[in-house]
Amino acid sequence: MVTLDPRPPEAAPKPPTVVPVRHWGRATAAVVVLALLGLLVAGLIVNKNIDEHTVRQYFFSRLILHGVLVTIELAVISQAVGIVLGIVLAVMRQSKNPALSGTSWLYIWFFRGTPLLVQLVFWAYFGSVYAHLTLGIPFTHLHLAQVGTNTLLTNTVAAYVGLSLNEGAYMAEIVRGGLLAVDEGQTEAALSLGMRRGLLLRRIVLPQAVRVIIPPTGNEFISMLKNTSLVAFIGGKDLFTNTQTIYSNNLKVIPLLVVASLWYLVITSVLTVGQYYLERRFARGATRTLPPTPIQRLRALLVPRRMVTT
């Protein structure tokens, strides 16, 4: 015989209520910042001294575009030479040979201790120190080749030399910091296996130090791009030099400075994005959680996190 349970069936559990987490402080700060930014943009728009017509006229002019190309070439070549020079100086600094480590320390001390602008002007007027550059045997009259200093060391070459030598000093300290970040136990283990120091540096130390070296190197590259504007003092034909040439003729200083600033912002923005993805590429094997991409950051900002309550 089947008996029925007189008790009523239990009600099904209610689904949890999802309540968005509210951040009042974050929202207030965002409103204040957006209001100030809106006031700034509105002030720039209504300001007639900006002269938007002149900005649009010269933004893609031939002289400005040529200056942009020269600026990029200066930054890329000088940074590449600086990186190579920095690696050599960092290895010399780590050497147990006092002559090598002392020479590296003296180089870094000199180029970090003198302003970059002074160095650029010095190389531009290097012909006043040596009128001719001679290749031959010292203390004899035997000369294999001789060339005038001003012929060889033009203003453009002086800009490359000054930027590269100065950057080499800073890159040496960055590379040295990356080398010191590698655990000494790995070096000792490689030496115990009979690995030579040159092979140890190429196969063990440098690949691990790159992860530490890349972030400050990216910052140095962006700083190098902006430091190229200093070559305007020696006529380097860069973006800022060509901008000065234009506004010295039409006397429209502010609009042309806006053009130069916009181009610098465009280039540095591209470099910043490249640096971000390069850091992610070399950080894949070192960290479990990779830093979020810009799209993920924007999505996290627009979509609030949610809190589940029962």
Q: What is the DSSP string of 244-305?
A: HHHHHHH--HHHHHHHHHHHHHHHHHHHHHHHHHHHHHHTTTT-SSPPPPHHHHHHHHHS--
Q: Say whether pTM exceeds 0.85.
A: no
Token pair listed for 149: 């200093």
pLDDT: is 91 or 286 the higher one?
91
Does residue 291 surpass a pLDDT of 60?
A: no
What residue type is 91 in one-letter code? V
Q: What is the band of 310 on the pLDDT scale with cuts at 50, 70, 90?
A: very low
Q: Which of 52, 42, 65 lies closest to 266 in space, CA to CA?
A: 65
Position 308 scores a pLDDT of 44
What are the angstrom distances between the C-alpha of 209 and each of 84, 85, 180, 184, 309? Answer: 15, 16, 8, 12, 47
Q: Is residue 28 part of a domain?
A: no
User: Mean of the pLDDT values across residues 254-276?
Assistant: 91
309 pLDDT tier (thresholds 50, 70, 90): very low
Indicate whether 231 pLDDT > 50.
Answer: yes
Evaluate whether residue 46 is within a structural domain.
no
- Segment among 32-36, 113-117, 274-278 with least mean pLDDT: 274-278
| Helix locations, the chain, DSSP H | 24-46, 52-59, 62-94, 98-113, 116-124, 149-152, 155-181, 184-192, 197-200, 206-227, 239-250, 253-282, 294-302
Q: Mean pLDDT highest for which of 153-157, 178-182, 265-269?
A: 265-269
Q: Is residue 270 part of a domain?
A: yes
Q: Say if 158 falls within a structural domain.
A: yes
pLDDT-based confidence at 295, cuts 50/70/90? low
Residue 138 lies in a domain: no
Which CATH number do you get for residue 220?
Answer: 1.10.3720.10
Q: What is the radius of gyration, based on Cα positions, of the chain?
A: 30
Tell me whether residue 282 is in a domain: yes
274, pLDDT greater than 80: yes
What is the Cα–Cα distance from 273 to 278, expressed in whole angstroms? 9
6-15, 243-252, 273-282: which has the minimum mean pLDDT? Answer: 6-15
- Split at pLDDT 50, 70, 90, the class of 225 is very high
> Which pLDDT score is estimated for 3?
60
The yes-or-no verdict on residue 267 having pLDDT over 60 is yes
- Between the alpha carbon of residue 310 and those of residues 14, 16, 19, 307, the distances in Å are 8, 5, 10, 10
Which of 114, 74, 62 shows the shortest CA–CA distance to 232?
74
C-alpha span between 14 and 29 (Å, rounded): 37
Number of domains in the chain: 1
pLDDT tens digits, one per residue of 171-186: 999 988 888 887 777 7
Residue 99 and residue 83: Cα distance in Å, rounded?
A: 22
Query: Is residue 194 in a domain?
Result: yes
* Structural domain includes residue 292: no
Q: What percent of the chain has pLDDT over 90?
A: 34
Contact present, 112 and 170 (Cβ < 8 Å): yes
- φ, ψ for residue 48, nearest 5 deg: -75, -15
pLDDT (0 to 100) of residue 129? 81
Contact 171, 83 (CB under 8 A): yes
Q: What is residue 300's predicted lDDT score, i.e. its pLDDT? A: 58
Q: Which domain holds residue 105?
A: 54-131+146-286
